[in-house]
Amino acid sequence: MKVLITGGGGFLGNQLARKLITRGTLTGPSGAQEPIDAITLFDAQFSDASKQGLTGEVTLLDRDIADRDAVFDAIDRDDIAVFHLASMVSGECELRFDDALRVNLDGGRNVFEACRARGGMPRVVFASSVASFGGAVMPEVVSDATKRTPQTTYGMTKVIGELMINDYSRKGFLDGRSARLPTIIIRPGRPNTAASSWASGMFREPLRGEACELPVGLDQGHPVLGYRDVIDAFIALHEAPAALLGDDRAFGLPSHRITPASARVVLEEVARERGMALGPLVLAPDARIQGIVNTWPTATDGSRAVGIGCPAPQPLRVMIEEYLEDFGS
């Protein structure tokens, strides 16, 4: 079977490809484990780092997700699994509304329509976000039963994607599942334009001995999940039998609620044991970023996802140690 990963040039898409190369099989249209004979990574651009170490039948497609023909060309087999991760991030969406609609909405519809046109009713895993929630009705801890009233353009596009996955699955056009992600840490590289970029930066930069400018307060609560856990969750959602999913196929992933202050305590413990000198956290309040973050939940109930096979989150200490193992400081 073939696997298509949109957003395959990004961190999570690239990590997912590497895990699937090692795994070698997924549940195919037959309902049995089938060997993966081709993996296509679809993205607007690929860094040199994203290309290194990829082995086997991996194709990189430098294409625009809003280009309908390019998406249909990539979804060219009935025996295909699709992981739709391509998206503009939160900060970009607030600044570039029309582009957000073109990429996140038109791009998602292109993927779903291309799958609908195939004969195999492919399994599709869509990456959604806790930014789906917000507003005055939002409780401190959100679950799959919480009303979705997003207060950002990014969150709005994710809610629509979840609803489309539900309806396309109901109609038998595809076999979809949505993973509602908390903030994923620790991402390597440099900060990006996501409003949650600080959640990785407050670990990554200090581990390099560099200062991290923190746009939110030290007591800002935030739900986080390690990148290894989310990759395993993507695969678990793909593998879950349709009979377990019910009529709402959007599953909020579990997370840890941390603050910069509490995270710093764990980071200092790891650094002390390893003899590392940490860079400082520097308060640099940013009203725009803080305003976006204020619309997001601070904790998630992921019990429904765990119930169908998604992993419970590793301890924060383990997330830090995994990052050091995979990417160093």
Q: Which of 154, 168, 227, 323 is catalytic?
A: 154
Q: What is the DSSP letter of 276?
A: P
Please tell me the predicted confidence (pLDDT) of residue 298.
95
Q: 329 pLDDT exceeds 80?
A: no
Torsion sign across C-alpha atoms 81, 247, 151, 190: negative
Is 168 assigned a catalytic role?
no
**Over residues 144-157, mean pLDDT:** 97
Q: What is the pLDDT of residue 263?
A: 97
Q: What is the pLDDT of residue 294?
A: 92
Across 54-83, average pLDDT: 94
pLDDT band at 47 (very low <50, low <70, confident <90, very high): confident
Q: What is the pLDDT, as a whole number, of residue 51? A: 81
Q: What pLDDT score was predicted for residue 29?
A: 84
Token readout for 3 is 């696997």
Q: At what angle do helices 227-239 and 11-23 cross, to 10 degrees?
A: 60
Residue 72: what pLDDT? 98
Q: With 80 as the cut, is the pLDDT of residue 56 above it?
A: no
Mean pLDDT of 233-261: 97
What is the Rg, in whole angstroms, of the alpha carbon atoms belonging to the chain? Answer: 19
Model confidence at 50, pLDDT cuts 50, 70, 90, reads confident
Pairing relationship of beta strands 299-300 and 281-283 according to DSSP bridges: unpaired
Pairing of strands 25-27, 33-35: antiparallel
**pLDDT value, residue 22:** 94
**pLDDT exceeds cutoff 90 at 157:** yes
Q: Give the chain's end-to-end CA distance (angstroms, integer).
A: 37
pTM of the model: 0.96
Residue 194 has pLDDT above 90, yes or no: no
Residue-range domains of the chain with CATH: 2-183+226-254+299-313 (3.40.50.720)
User: How confident is the model at residue 54, as a pLDDT?
Assistant: 81
Residue 244 confidence (pLDDT) above 90: yes
pLDDT at 43 over 90: yes
Q: What is the pLDDT of residue 52?
A: 78
pLDDT in the model for residue 53: 74
pLDDT, tens digit (0-9, with 9 covering 90-100), for 281-327: 999 999 999 999 999 999 999 999 999 999 999 999 999 999 999 99
High-pLDDT (> 70) share of the chain, %: 100
Query: What pLDDT does 119 receive?
Result: 87
In this structure, are residues 130 and 296 in contact, taking their beta carbons and an 8 Å threshold? Answer: yes
- Mean pLDDT value across the chain: 95
The pLDDT of residue 49 is above 90: no
**pLDDT at residue 192 tops 90:** no
For the segment 91-107, what is each residue's pLDDT rounded down to a tens digit?
Answer: 899 999 999 999 999 99
Question: Phi/psi at 248 (nearest 5 deg)?
Answer: -110, 110
